[in-house]
Structure 1
Amino acid sequence: MEPKAAVQKIRILVVDDHQMVRDGVLASVKGQPDMEIVGEATCGQEAVTQFFQTRPDVTLMDLRLPDMSGHEAITQIRETFPNARIIVLTTYQGDVQAVKAFKAGAMAYLLKSSLRKDLLTTIRAVQAGRKVIPPDIAVAMASYVADDELSARELQILRHVAEGLSNKLIADRLSLSPDTVKSHLANTMAKLNANDRTHAVTIAIKRGYFDLDV
């Protein structure tokens, strides 16, 4: 009787600055005959270093890291390893962050709230070369694909609106005229199809342009 061939395990790198998330991934992967964790990282630079050292088959990458964004870490990794298979882990349910992640080279977008249900199947799908996008996020991406992106200045002004600043205070802080701020806000509301500045902030947060605590 011939001995069974050893199962080729999917080697996984986990990048997240929250111990609870990493522990959750480890608990899900533990006992899977075709998977193993080969490294953990808590920030973007550590993720890049760990990737170079361990050469994982699949990397799970948080978008919000203390030193750089997950998008930046993905970009750095793929500059040297263009075939890197990376799954984004995130709490962002909007289309903006998803679009940025896929542009950076991610192959899947996985909400942390669905880790227990979808993690293992997503890892196996990505290892097989398939992209994975949650249906609701795919719909959002399709709905806004033709929209104009907010410019850096428009996003900067909208963040100040979210902080509760008036147009005049925003103008003073950014060394702009109040009319310029008003013009930027008008453009922003048109792009977001918002009724007013408060509505624009609500839409921007929902779509993942920024969080209130960022």
Structure 2
Amino acid sequence: MRILLVDDHPLVREGLSARIEAQSDLEVCGETGSIQAAMVEFAEKVPDLTIVDIQLEDGNGIDLIKDIHTRYPYAKMLVVSAFDETLYAERALRAGALGYISKRELQEKVLEAIRTVLSGKRYLSGKMTQHLLNQAVNQKGQPASHPVERLSNRELEVFQMIGNGMTTAAIAGQLHLSVHTIDTHREKLRHKLGAKNGAELMKLAVQWVLENG
């Protein structure tokens, strides 16, 4: 089975590659850290599985998953990320991924996750499975437990970039959007998160990235 690795950290790719190549029936057919290169690699290699990080060099892994799923509905994808699974796992599944595993569980669970997704089944941690069950059974119609959970995928992406210290112009450039559009997202973020001004929004974003990144 051929696997494509998409992660912006070379050391993570190296570690994953070593674990995968140690298996007689698995091989890494390509690796990259960007969305643009990943689309090219996927088209050329047609992997059996694509492993995707949330944060990539030129954008958000959720967007990559959507793009691949739209063009190749049969594609099997597994998200491997350090970001909070309660915020991103459900978004990744909706975008087209079959599984989500935290980088904190890589050493123990990554091969299990890979083989589960390759078999066409969904893979989530026990914690995340319980979280989704609780949402479905006990919280139907109730507001999200944390304001960040109410953000759209794009708003969450902008919020994360703000927390990483990026300016409005830099965010606009990376997302290929206008500065005005990013300013609009900032205003929506302030409203949804209860921030009084831009400085308070920045503080919330930095704190969130430190806790979840």
Smaller-chain TM-score range? 0.5 to 0.7
Counterpart selection for 2:20 from 5, 15, 29:
29
User: In the TM superposition, what are the counterparts of 1:25-104 in structure 2 within 5 Å?
Assistant: 25-104=16-95
Note the C-alpha offset of 1:212: 7.4
1:150 maps to which residue?
151
Residue by residue over 1:118-158, the C-alpha shift from the partner in whole angstroms, topping out at 9 and shown as x without a partner, is 11111111111110011112333444675352367899799
Deviations 1:77-123 (A, max 9, x none): 11110111000010012412112111101101011111111111111
CA contact under 8 A between 2:82 and 2:212: conserved in structure 1? no
> Kindly tell me: are residues 39 and 95 of structure 1, through their superposed partners in 2, closer, same or farther at Cα, counting changes over 3 Å?
same
Match of 1:114 in 2: 105
Contact 2:85 2:100 in 1 (8 A): no
Partner Cα distance (1:211, 1:97) in 2: 16
TM-score, normalization: structure 1?
0.68
Q: Distance in 2 between matches of 1:160 and 1:18?
A: 20
Alignment length (residue pairs): 176
Task: Output aligned runs, 1:176-187, within 5 Å.
Answer: none
Q: Is the aligned partner of 1:123 residue 2:114?
A: yes
Query: Deviation at 1:186?
Result: 7.6
State the 1:38 CA deviation. 0.6
Asked if the contact 1:158–1:185 (Cα under 8 Å) also holds between the matched residues in 2, the reply is no
Aligned AA for 1:119? V
Query: Aligned partners of 1:154 and 1:123: how far apart in 2?
Result: 27
Give unmatched runs, 5+ long, in structure 2.
Answer: 145-149, 166-182, 195-199
In the alignment, the residues of structure 1 paired with residue 162 and residue 69 of structure 2 have an alpha-carbon distance, to the nearest angstrom, of 34
> How big is each residue's C-alpha offset from its partner over 1:166-214, in whole Å with a ceiling of 9 and x where there is no partner?
xxxxxxxx69xxxxx8x9868646xxxxxxx89xx49x93xxxx56799
Deviation at 1:59, TM superposition (A): 0.6
Secondary structure in 1 matching 2:101: strand
* Higher alpha-carbon Rg: 1
Q: TM-score, normalised by structure 2?
A: 0.68
Supply the RMSD in Å over aligned alpha carbons: 3.7
Alignment pair present for 1:134 and 2:125: yes
Amino acid of the residue matched to residue 110 of structure 1? I
Bigger helix share:
2
What is the Cα deviation at residue 22 of structure 1? Answer: 0.6
Q: Assess if the C-alpha contact under 8 Å between 2:3 and 2:51 holds in 1.
A: yes
Please tell me whether the aligned partners of residues 43 and 65 of structure 1 are also in contact (alpha carbons under 8 angstroms): yes
Determine what percentage of the aligned residue pairs are the same residue. Answer: 26
The 1:59–1:91 alpha-carbon spacing in structure 2 relative to 1, beyond 3 Å, is: same
Alpha-carbon distance between aligned partners in 2 of 1:114 and 1:41, rounded to the nearest angstrom: 22
CA distance in 2, matches of 1:147, 1:122: 31
